[in-house]
Structure 1
Amino acid sequence: MQRTFCCSLLCLLLYALGVSAQPNELPSVPITLQNLADFKSTGSNWKIVGDAFYDLNKAGKGSTKSGTGVLVNDPSGKSNGHLFTSMEHGDLALDLDFMMEKESNSGIFLQGRYEVQLFDSWGAKVPKSSDCGAIYERWDESRPEGRKGYEGHPPTQNVGKAPGLWQHLSVVFRAPRFNAAGEKTSNARFLKVVLNGVTVQENIEVLGPTRSAAFQDEKPTGPLMIQGDHGAVAIRNIRYKSYGIEPVTLTKMKLSAYEGKFSSVSDLNSLTAKRELDIDVLAHSAPGSRDKFGGKITGTLHIPRTGQYLLNLNLNWIPAETNPANPNGAGELQIDSKPVMSISGKNGGTTSAMVSLEAGDHPVVLAYYKNFGLWYARSNDILLAVEGPGVQYTPLNQIIRAEDPVGEISVLASNEPVMQRGFVNHHGRKHTHTISVGEPGQVNYSIDLNKGEFLQIWRGDFLETTPMWYGRGETQLSVPLGSVIELSGKPSLSVLADQNTVWPDSNATYTNLGYDIDKNGRPVFKYTLGGAQVRESFAAGEDGHKLSHSFTVTAQGTPGEIWCRIAEGSDITELPNGLYAVNDKQYFVELPGKQKPVIRTTAQKTRELLLPVKSANNGGTVTYSLIW
């Protein structure tokens, strides 16, 4: 009994350690796609539509639906001009969704000068500086043949999706800097480029405009440009945050340190500090202080411009989950002698607040205490971050710590399928009885063996397993290295009374029987579903362009019909080419032959795609393919 209790407590603590409150952020500014009002005058190749369709297999077969919200480029006519925003920017954080036509080519030019490549790179094994997510090369006609293009930066891996699917691009860009005489003092820099959730560029310096830039000079600001002379592309959900170059700063910090156990930050007001010292980082760094302390940090907060500022405060010794009857600390932040945010410690150590601040200097006081330490929340660091008009999300005066000298432990699937058992995070929950399989075509998937659930697929590199072997007892997760699509995670097969029966969250009659290895090195999963025997298998096909999923069922008097639940999403749409687009064109489903699935609406207003397992001599098979 004691052992069970200790194990449960350990699991709770490990779960608490894995939960981290995400900082709040200010919303981005949208570029309207109700019309072209936010863009400069352009050619007829640019239009606003309601939706776009690009055929997976045929270039030049795109079509659109009337409406608003989607920007499309069709350069097949007489016009093929670029599109420029009326907005001009310096430092910028940019987010957008895009969809490529087969074999199409486009690009996003920051300040009209520095290109992030958009390209149909689906399935490319070794990405180049012309592939999707690349920082495109510069060009010099005077250089020798074969070397005219230079300083291009390929993406770290290819995570480009299939033509006709929506993809997501995030860019954090730092504009070049100039002195008062107009001379450039530092180059433009792509701080981060994230394609489909994977960082493919980081801290890339660009020495000058890339090829096909609209402007060959360099300036502090310029418009966004979308390339229009190469190929068809659809874009939606364009939004940005534009930043100035003057930062928020916290200076002249002093720490007054107290010792003892406290019930409120107001307890500190009647006490004399044990130590007073100057500090330059946000932490309770008084000598000898570990637990049972209080502190007041005073300083000067400089605000570059008047407006609404979002403040995030985190006392790192208070975990996200704690005992509300016995919190191990609390805190309060004052600006201009007025309380603006507080942490009681009963609901974790993180809080946020919107504060109206005038440009200039403001006195701040941060008061806090810690009554006892927790082994899984040892740090006495404090996070105070700020974001506001023209100011990007900035953690103030952080402690800079060297990372532990441990190398990445990764597993790659180079020449044959690779299997890895381990824990997998799925929709924020840890699954402990899983297997992940990587295919040489950079097509990967994870299965929960304990429940018979198909959890996720991803394109790109296979797994990082460092958390499984370094610091064991914490996350122990295997982490996909590519671009992940999380599936619903419910059972793939179930026995239904009829096609209108609600799909179960789990199967009480499911029994895992392990797996065999076929002649190609792929697992074949075995289990029973009531009286039915099931063999389930996957295989990457067409050089990694699709993942087939097959079931062979031997039914032995099982009551009811066995159905296969192929997909669930916000929507499921049959396309003109016979494929089914799932979850707002997140991925495609391909069915063999002329099979017609059942598409139905759930009680949660999602859509499900089902196929019956056709019985023949007490057995049946189902096969379909996922394309993304």
Structure 2
Amino acid sequence: MQRRLCCVLLCLLPSLHAAWAQSNKVPYTQVNLQNLTDFKPTGSNWKIVGDVFYDLNKSGAGNTKSGTGIVVNDPAKSKEHLLTKMEHGDLDLELDFMMEKGSNSGIYLQGRYEIQLFDSWGVKDPKSSDCGAIYERWDENRPEGRKGYEGHPPAQNVSKAPGLWQHVGIVFKAPRFNEKGEKIANARFVKVVLNGVTIQENIEVTGPTRSAIFQDEKPTGPLMIQGDHGPVAIRNISYKSYGIEPVTLTKLRLSAYDGKFKSVDELSALTPKREMDIDVLAHLAPGSRDNFAGKITGTVHIPRSGQYFFDLKLRWIPTEVNTNVRNGAGELKIAGKKVLGITTEDGGAASTNVNLEAGDYPIELTYYKNFGLWYARSNDILLSVEGPGVQYTTLNQIIRVEEPVGEISLTATSEPVMQRGFVNHQGRKHTHTISVGEPGFTNYTVDLQTGEFLQIWRGDFLETTPMWHGRGETQLSVPLGSVIELAGKPSLALMTDKNAAWPDSNTTYTNLGYDIDPSGRPIFKYTLGNASVRESFAATDEGRKLSHTFTITPGQETQEIWCRVASGNDIVEQPNGLYAINNKQYFIELPLKGKEKPFIRTTAQNTKELLLPVKATNNTGTLTYSIVW
């Protein structure tokens, strides 16, 4: 029996169009960290705090501040695990964690299957015991040296330093059982993302991993944080828990039209050229590849009442919007009500949230295409949905055999590697950049045209497939590791005094190219007003730090030269003398014997800046600091 859309949708229809661009997916459920009420009773080793400090260089020197929002483990008090009252099957989990130096912990899905948390900072060849690994299973009956088995190390090590916040996302599929309670499918880690990098994908786990609290397997179980090994801090725990009944799209029928169109409304007055049953969302009718329209009708099954997120993409409309080239449009109706529309200005994609009761609804998808563009070749339609207990799913997607393209990548194994090219930074394409990869998995990008220090990342160097495959459509080089985007403003500036606003760009900056030092690293050369500058970077401490050095000859320059070492929402000096940037996203290390004192100031935008003056001795000034992450 078909159900009607609930009244919430009907009331919102007049204002839906304005809200489409702001629609979000179904929100995550937050675990309350104001207290421990969302967890089962545990030991005295777990407590709620407002802030935590772990020393970068030594264990056992951590401390906390009172407050809420962070749960911390101190195994010196007791060694109990932390288990949620919530029990889950399929789960999408997100959380932040911080490791003490040398510490060890773990996240156990259903209390049985562990993703390892470990201080793996700087590890070159990660094992199944390192951070982000799927920990091994264990069998005492196996031969010595082979008791541990089925461990899966991370694809690459993108772990941050002790004392910094790290982020992990886990998509987990629970084991499946038949009516008799017999297991018919193993648990699976669909994806594990550490600090923005996919490190595990589609890994099957045949049973509980070592040190699990349950040795049996069930459809559900609690989330567990290991508490018997080492100190760890956790914050921002959120999840989406899924059932096993999906949204389905059935009884699809395509009415196809030929010609050029200005609006999907034109189709209601036309007779289709052909009609056909289909089972995938695509314009499958024979005829013109570029001058067509279609109306696809069918039935969508909604398994549970609640808010559903619908995401529609017409892939022949390119994401780079060109309002002078209007090649198509489309709209989606559910139960006869328009819920979604796409125009050229939308870049071929739109999404919205719709409140639906459980049941079956008639669905209608109309669209047209007037011509093709060489850089948007596909005629596919993608309709995806997410809802209460329903994981984000693309419905009735056509599967095409595409030309296999091997990854064209650059690695830095024994010496620094440089690559000129285009780079995306904060949503803008920079066309005059150089990226440098260090053998210690420490990498960075500089904009040579403006002198801006754009980004750093830990892990593998660059994928250059978009630069070199085919016509190199985007021409981008893409970092393969965990990226920290910096502000993208000049590192040096001429200022009348320390309170002058930092410039967005240097009008007196002139690029003079770069030299190559004996180790293969670039030394950037430029002038800033009447001052001459040589700027260089080097990985230190076996790749754990990136040293940034300026050598400046003021010449006839009369204004003061300042270096903006860092900027962020906050900058806080730590007990060990390091400066934590952006709520412990990374550290800045200044020389212990530096003559000039750092200056932290608040900008007009209420952000923070860490500045250092550059003082010349014998007509030369040198400044060095290190980024630690």
Q: TM-score, normalised by structure 2?
A: 0.94
CA distance in 2, matches of 1:609, 1:117: 35
Mean CA deviation greater in 154-163 or 421-430: 421-430
Taking the TM superposition and a 5 Å limit, the aligned residue runs for 1:286-297 are 286-297=285-296
| Structure 1 residue 448 displacement after superposition | 0.9
Tell me the residue number matched to 2:603. Answer: 602
Instruction: Give the deviation of 1:473 after TM superposition.
Output: 4.2
- The gaps in structure 2 that reach 5 residues or longer are 1-20
How far apart, CA to CA, are the structure 1 residues paired with 2:625 and 2:521? 17
Amino acid at match of 2:52: A
Secondary structure class of the residue paired with 1:272: coil
Do 1:90 and 1:242's aligned partners in 2 also have CA atoms closer than 8 Å?
A: yes
Deviations 1:580-613 (A, max 9, x none): 0001100000000244201111111111001111
* Structure 1 partner of 2:437: 438
* CA–CA distance in structure 2, aligned partners of residues 347 and 364 of structure 1: 22
Please tell me whether the aligned partners of residues 23 and 352 of structure 2 are also in contact (alpha carbons under 8 angstroms): no
> How do residues 115-126 of structure 1 correspond to structure 2 at under 5 angstroms?
115-126=114-125
Q: Show the counterpart of 1:27.
A: 27
Query: Following the alignment from structure 1 to structure 2, what is the Cα–Cα distance between the partners of residues 137 and 76?
Result: 26
1:618, 1:28 → 2: CA distance? 58
Shift of 1:233: 0.4
Aligned partner letter, 1:70: I
Counterpart of 2:72 in structure 1 is: 72
Q: SS at the partner of 1:131?
A: coil
- For these two proteins, the number of residue pairs brought into alignment is 607
Alpha-carbon offset, residue 323 of structure 1: 5.1
- Tell me the equivalent position of 2:584: 585
Aligned to 1:47: 47
* Alpha-carbon contact 2:26-2:388 (below 8 Å) kept: no
1:613 alignment partner AA: V
CA distance in 2, matches of 1:83, 1:186: 28
Pairing 1:89–2:101 present: no
Counterpart CA distance in 1 for 2:23 and 2:190 is 20
Alignment partner of 1:268: what SS?
helix
Q: Is the counterpart of residue 623 in structure 1 residue 619 in structure 2? A: no
Give the drift of 1:360: 2.4
- Inter-CA distance 408–346: structure 2 relative to 1 (3 Å threshold): closer
Work out whether residues 568 and 582 of structure 2, in 8 Å CA contact, stay in contact via their aligned partners in 1.
Answer: yes
2:604 aligned with 1:613, yes or no? Answer: no
Partner in structure 2 of residue 507 of structure 1:
506
> What is the alpha-carbon distance in structure 1 between the residues aligned to residue 527 and residue 402 of structure 2?
47
1:627 counterpart letter in structure 2: V
The amino acid of 1:467's aligned partner reads P
- AA aligned to 2:36 is L
SS at structure 2 position matched to 1:218? coil
Distance 1:454 1:325, change over 3 A: closer
Letter in 2 for 1:498: D
Partner amino acid for 1:145? E
Aligned partner letter, 1:554: T
Deviation, 1:319, is: 2.9
Whole-Å separation in 2 of the counterparts to 1:590 and 1:281: 56
Matched, 1:187 2:182: no
1:347/1:562 Cα in 2 relative to 1: closer, same or farther (>3 Å)? Answer: same
Distance, in Å, in 2 between the alignment partners of 1:130 and 1:323 is: 50
Alignment check: 8 A CA contact 1:325 1:346 kept: no
Q: Could you tell me whether the CA contact under 8 Å between 1:171 and 1:190 is conserved in 2?
A: yes
Partner of 1:539: 538
Any residues of structure 2 matched to 1:48-447 within 5 Å, and which?
A: 48-77=48-77, 79-322=78-321, 324=323, 327-447=326-446
Between the aligned partners of 1:266 and 1:525, the Cα distance in structure 2 is 58
Rounded to whole Å, the distance in 1 between the matches of 2:354 and 2:560 is: 60
Question: For residue 610 of structure 2, what is the amino acid of its counterpart?
Answer: L
Using the TM superposition, give the Cα deviation of residue 261 of structure 1 relative to its aligned residue in structure 2, in angstroms: 2.3
Counterpart-to-counterpart distance in 2, 1:586 and 1:192: 23
Contact kept? 2:24, 2:353, Cα under 8 Å: no
CA contact (8 A) 2:24 2:352 kept: no
Please say if residues 23 and 312 of structure 1, whose CA atoms lie closer than 8 Å, have aligned partners that are also in contact. Answer: no
Q: 1:243-273 CA distances to partner (integer Å, 9 max, x unpaired)?
A: 0011111111110001122232222112111
Q: Which residue of 2 aligns with 1:555?
A: 554
Taking the aligned partners of 2:35 and 2:402, their CA distance within structure 1 comes to 48
The answer as to whether partners of 2:26 and 2:307 remain within 8 angstroms in 1 is: no
CA shift for structure 1 position 35: 0.5
Encode CA deviations 1:546-572: one digit per residue, 9 max, x unaligned: 111100101111021111111011100
Query: SS of 1:220's equivalent?
Result: coil
Instruction: Specify every segment of 5 or more residues in structure 1 that has no aligned partner in the other structure, as ranges.
Output: 1-20
Which amino acid in 1 is paired with 2:27?
P
What is the root-mean-square deviation of aligned Cα atoms in Å? 1.5
Instruction: State how far apart, in whole Å, the 1-side matches of 2:116 and 2:223 are.
Output: 13
Q: Distance in 1 between matches of 2:60 and 2:298?
A: 62
2-structure distance, mates of 1:626, 1:410? 25
Deviations 1:516-571 (A, max 9, x none): 11122211111111111111111111111111110010111102111111101110
**Deviations for 1:64-83, whole angstroms, at most 9, x for unmatched residues?**
01000011001112x11000
CA distance in 1, matches of 2:23, 2:288: 28
Aligned mates of 2:207, 2:325 — CA distance in 1: 58
Identity of aligned residues (%): 75
Cα pair 1:24 1:312 within 8 Å, conserved: no
Task: Give the conservation status (yes or no) of the 8 Å contact 1:321–1:347.
Answer: no
- Partners of 2:148 and 2:492 lie apart in 1 by 53
Local SS of the residue matching 1:51: strand
- Counterpart check, 1:573 vs 2:555: no
- Which residue of 1 is the match for residue 7 of structure 2? none
Alignment of 1:459-474 (within 5 A): 459-474=458-473
Contact 1:190 1:204 in 2 (8 A): yes
Q: Could you tell me how far apart the structure 2 residues matched to 1:343 and 1:519 are?
A: 55
Secondary structure of 2:392's match?
strand
Which residues of 2 match residues 443-454 of structure 1 at below 5 A? 443-454=442-453
Quote the Cα distance in structure 2 between the aligned partners of 1:522 and 1:346.
Answer: 44
SS in 2 for 1:467: helix
CA shift at 1:327, angstroms? 3.2
Shift of 1:326: 6.6
Tell me the amino acid that sits aligned with residue 61 of structure 2.
K
Q: What letter is aligned with 1:51?
A: D
Hey, what's the Cα distance between the residues in 2 that align with 1:331 and 1:35?
Answer: 48
Q: Deviations over 1:496-520 (max 9, x none)?
A: 1111111111111111111111122
